[in-house]
Every structure is written in structure tokens, then in C-alpha cells.
Amino acid sequence: MTSTLFFNLCGAGYFLGLFLYLANLAIKKASLRRTATLLVAVSFLTQIAGLVVRWHEAGLVELQAAERATGLTLEGAQRFVVYTRHPPWSNLYEMMVYMAWGVVFVFLVSEVKFRIRFAGIFALALALVSLGLASLTTDAAIKPLVPALQSWWIMIHVVSSAVGYAAGTLGAVLSLLFLVKAKERVSLSSVAAGTLVVSMALFLLLGRGAHLFTTGAYRVKLMSDMGGDLNPAGRFVGNNFHPYYVPSPGVGLVMIATLVIAAVAVALLLRARKDDVPQGLARYAYFAAFGATTATIGLILLNAFTQMDVQVPPEVAAEMVVPGPWRLAVESAQWDLALFGIAWGGQLFLLLALLFPDKLRSLMADSARLDRAAYYSILVAFALVAVVLVTGALWAHYAWGRYWGWDPKETGALVIWITYAIYLHARVTYGWVGVPSAIIGVVGFFIIIAGFLGVNLGYFADGLHSYGAG
């Protein structure tokens, strides 16, 4: 049995568990909730089994590489060291699988401690997104570890980062739930406006800012279709591979329209912020912004399935590393789609809150409990990200001969830690309990996205940790 089989089984279990948690919102039976949690726990153990098998598969690859390089048959302690030095989190595919593990692990712990309704829905949805991204990664093959990764520091460093970032993610989810629940402190109009502001920021970032408005184009990676095997099309500049980007037809203009509609909706919602549930024009503007977001994502997906024969200029084709035919696919914009999907999910949740405010709030835990659970989650995240920084510095000294070099990933982890330090300091010193700390908690999730995925994918800057841009 391969690790992929275990990961597919755990993904199916998470999906069914998500369905049961959703059903539990309508069928309020404790037995249904317990069944869902038990299924998630079994699926979690299945994922652990998959990680163990993946470690075994990687160990065999390392042994073959070492024996081929030395011409010797390794035995005893030497064989054990080589066999175990390649844990299952050394490339982007494995990291996304492992991040799903971290999110589910933190959720299960919180379920034992707090039993927050909706937490399982958000956690499993994010875990499935992470597993889906892993399945779309074009380079999932196990390869021998580069020398910089051949260190036992990888064990503590990566485990701490996965659980720490997952705890921060859960803290953001609980903070969002608090903002929706605490109607005596913040209106749904304000929360809806904030949701659209975050969505606009994502659209501007992924649309490449001013480039979107000056060209009217949203660009995605061109893929080479080699008998059904998709790989990014591009060329090498020096030793670095640069994917080739082409406009996704029509998406740029729809995205610009979405930004304009969202901006108008934000202005109207803020104007009506004293009303808990917006009415009239502000309400319909939010619905229009949600519809525009849906249309943008839908058009990206439509192009991914229909743009099968994309032509490029001859001078560009001559420099391509992989030959045609070229096309668009989901892999052309998988990471953008994941982030757009998260923004869409947040907008959908607020849409339901605007339509059924009393019903939705009645399903939630009380605001004090949500605030306390968010606080403990972020406290854990703060501690573990500190471990990430310390072990990362020690590992960097071992691998590169320096403790700190302001590499983008190092800087990103530091910013994440500082964000949670501000959260805790504001609560303890200034008494920013409730809405102010919840806003910081939600923002922390997007800083995690920027510091983890943004750097790994080379969105912000190339560094020693950028291994997914291709």
C-alpha cells in the first residue's frame, strides 16, 4: 500500500466528516456530532499511517541513492541513519499534506477542550483545501534530500511550524466566529465590510496590483500537456526556472469589476455600520460583491477546462524548456484559486449571517467562550512559532554557517511571531479583549499565508526557502 492511498482515504474521511458536521447544524443530535468526530479521528490516524509509509518510501530512496553513490551496501547503524533522515515533509507536496495534518490535529485537541460548533467545518474545509493543493502539485516525487535538509533539526522545526501555524489558523477561525457572535460589540455590517476589504486585498495581490488595471489582464501559468502529464511551461534564467504566464481570457475585466463593486459595498456597509444587519442598498451591494467574486472564480475554472490549445509567439516557444501543446488547467492557478476560495468561503459565511443572523448565532458558542478559545489557540501558536524561530536559526547555522540572514522565510516567520506577540501584549497590557484582539487574530491568518505560502511560492521574493514557484 502506498502513502497516496492512505492520503486519499483520509481525504475521503475528512470530506464525510465535514458533511456530518454540516448535517449536525440541522440535526442537533449529540450522537451525530460524536460520529463525525470519531470519523475525523480515524481519518487522522489514517493520515498518520500515510505519513509513516511516505517516510518509509523516502527512506528507500535515500538508501538507493547512498548505495549508488558509495558503491557499498549499508548496514547496521549507518543504514538506519540514512533510512530515517528523510521525514515526509521535504517538498511542497509533503508540506501541504502535513499542514492538513496539523489543522486536523489542532481541531481535535480543541474539540476535546472546547467543543466549538463550526470549528470542525472550517478546519476540515481548510484541511481538504490543503490536501487538494497537494494533489495538484506537479512535482510530488520523492527525491534525495539536499545537504541543507539532512539535519535532525528538521524534525522539531517542521513539526513546530505545522502545529503552530495550524493553531494560529484555528485562532483566526474562532476570532471570526466571535466577531459574528458578539452583536453587542460589533455589527454584522462592519464584519461584512472587513471581509470584503480582505477579499479586495487578495484580489489586488494576486491580480498583480497596478498591472491588473493597466493591462486589464489576470495572468496564470501556461502548462505543457505531454500525454496528460501537465508541467509548467517556461524557461531557465541562469539556474532558476521561470514559468511563462499568459492572460486568462476575460478574467481581468471581471476581476476589476469585482473590485469596484466590493469597494462600493464596503463604503455602503461602513455607512450603515451602526445597523447590526444592513438593509437596503448596502445589503444588496454585499450580495452583488459576493456574486462578482463567484463569477471571477467560475471564469478562472471555466478557462482552465476549455483553453486547450494556447498559442505563444515563436520567439517565446523557442525558449520553452518543455514542448507544446500548451494549455490552461487548474494547476495554472491552483494557489490563487485556493486563496480566492478561502475569500469566497468567508464571504459566503457572512452572507448566511446576513440572511439568518439569529439562527446562525444561536448555533454558536457564547462570545466569551469563543474569545477564550481563540486566546488559547493563539497562545500556543505564539509559543510554537518561537520554537520555529530558534530551531530555524540553529539549523541555518548548521546548514549555511549563519544564524540569521533576513531570508524572506525567516523574516516571514518573525513577522508572524511579532503579530501574535502584539495580540497577547494588547490583551494583557491594554485590555484589548474582544473585538480588537479578534481582528488581530483574523489578520494573523493572512500573515501566515503570506509568510508560509507567499515565500515558498516565490510570490514576494526568492530565497533559500522558495521551492514551489515552478
Which of 198-212, 312-326, 417-431 has the least mean pLDDT? 312-326
Residue 141 burial (CB < 10 Å; 0-12/13-18/19+)?
exposed
Indicate whether 451 pLDDT > 90. Answer: no
**pLDDT band for position 462 (cuts 50, 70, 90):** low
**Using CA atoms, how far apart are residues 5 and 325, in angstroms rounded to an integer?**
31
Task: Name, of 101-110, 224-233, 427-436, the range with top average pLDDT.
Answer: 101-110
Least confident range from 55-59, 103-107, 356-360, 427-431: namely 427-431
CA atoms within 13 A on the CB side of 259: 19
pLDDT tens figures, 315-372: 888 888 877 789 999 999 999 999 999 999 999 999 999 999 999 999 999 999 999 9
Mean pLDDT of the chain: 91
Dihedral of alpha carbons 72, 77, 79, 81, sign:
negative
So what's the pLDDT on residue 397?
A: 83
Under the banding of pLDDT at 50, 70 and 90, the label for residue 454 is low
pLDDT in tens, 209-251: 899 999 999 999 999 987 778 888 988 887 778 889 999 999 9
Residue that wins the pLDDT comparison between 284 and 456 = 284
pLDDT of 465 over the 70 cut: no
Write down the pLDDT at residue 37: 97
Polymer length in residues for the chain: 470
Average pLDDT over residues 57-81: 91
Give the CA angle between residues 439, 271, 287 to the nearest 5°: 80
Q: How much is the pTM? A: 0.92
At residue 461, the pLDDT reads 52
467 Ramachandran zone, left/alpha/beta (phi>0; psi -120 to 50): alpha
The predicted structure's pLDDT at residue 428: 87
Give residue limits of the domains in the chain: 186-356
- Is 60 exceeded by the pLDDT of residue 58? yes
Q: Is 208 left (phi over 0), alpha (psi -120 to 50) or beta?
A: left
* Cα 197 to Cα 442: distance, rounded to the nearest angstrom: 13
Q: What is the mean pLDDT of residues 74-101?
A: 90
Nearest to 100 by CA among 112, 111, 110, 89: 89
What proportion of the chain, given as a percentage, has pLDDT over 70?
A: 96
Q: Quote the pLDDT of residue 468.
A: 43
State the average pLDDT over residues 428-433.
Answer: 86
